[in-house]
């Protein structure tokens, strides 16, 4: 089981960190949430029945843990911090522009209502409508509606910041 857990974290850890960052704005809180997610996955792994993919299973756990984390946290007035993932192939200027774009997107995602934040985050991680429906506990058509609304809201938020 330890090997399976390690394999899941290696394969999906970066995506889980991005998911955590979409729920909290401070790097320390993101890391705390990631740890909570990892512990919840560890505890739930023995109960995985294979009704869905492992990826869908861990994203469902991650979103449930993130929602619980938000419920017990007060909104923070601290500045938004992005996830630092350096790319040695980019020039410093290009890297700075990319990071600023990522920070703007992440800040806009955090402003979305929870149900829209959830589907847009899953979409950005490449989950299918069926997988998003399983994670969110809604129908695929509802995923489409929420995703369309989330994209529209994001577009407006991003246009307002330019």
Q: How far is CA 55 from CA 46, 48, 102, 125, in A?
A: 15, 11, 24, 11
0.75 surpassed by pTM: no
Length of the chain: 162
Cα distance between residue 19 and residue 157, in whole Å = 19
Amino acid 27: pLDDT = 86
What is the model's pLDDT at position 91? 66
Domains in the chain, ordered, with CATH? 1-76 (1.10.1740.10), 89-162 (1.10.10.10)
At 25-82, the pLDDT tens digits run 888 889 999 999 999 999 999 999 888 899 999 999 999 999 888 888 754 444 445 5
- Averaged over 137-157, what is the pLDDT? 95
Residue 64 CB contacts under 8 Å (≥ 6 apart), including other chains: 40
pLDDT at 83 over 70: no
Rounded-to-integer distance, Cα 132 and Cα 136, Å: 6
Angle at CA of residue 86, ends 81 and 90, nearest 5°: 120
Mean pLDDT of the 21-28 span: 88
Q: Which residue do the tokens 């619980």 mark?
A: 68
């Amino acid at each position: 089981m330890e090997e399976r857990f390690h394999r899941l974290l290696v394969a999906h850890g970066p995506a889980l960190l991005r998911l955590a960052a979409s729920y909290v704005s401070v790097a320390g809180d993101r890391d705390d949430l990631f740890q909570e997610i990892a512990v919840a996955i560890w505890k739930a792994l023995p109960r995985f029945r294979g009704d869905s993919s492992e990826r869908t299973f861990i994203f469902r756990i991650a979103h449930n843990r993130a929602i619980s984390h938000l419920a017990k946290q007060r909104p923070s007035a601290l500045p938004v911090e992005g996830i630092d993932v350096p790319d040695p192939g980019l020039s410093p200027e290009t890297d700075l522009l990319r990071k600023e774009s990522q920070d703007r997107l992440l800040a806009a995602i955090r402003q979305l209502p929870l149900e829209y934040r959830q589907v847009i985050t899953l979409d950005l991680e490449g989950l299918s409508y069926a997988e998003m429906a399983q994670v969110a506990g809604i129908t695929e058509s509802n995923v489409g509606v929420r995703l369309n609304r989330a994209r529209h809201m994001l577009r407006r938020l991003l246009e307002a910041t330019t």
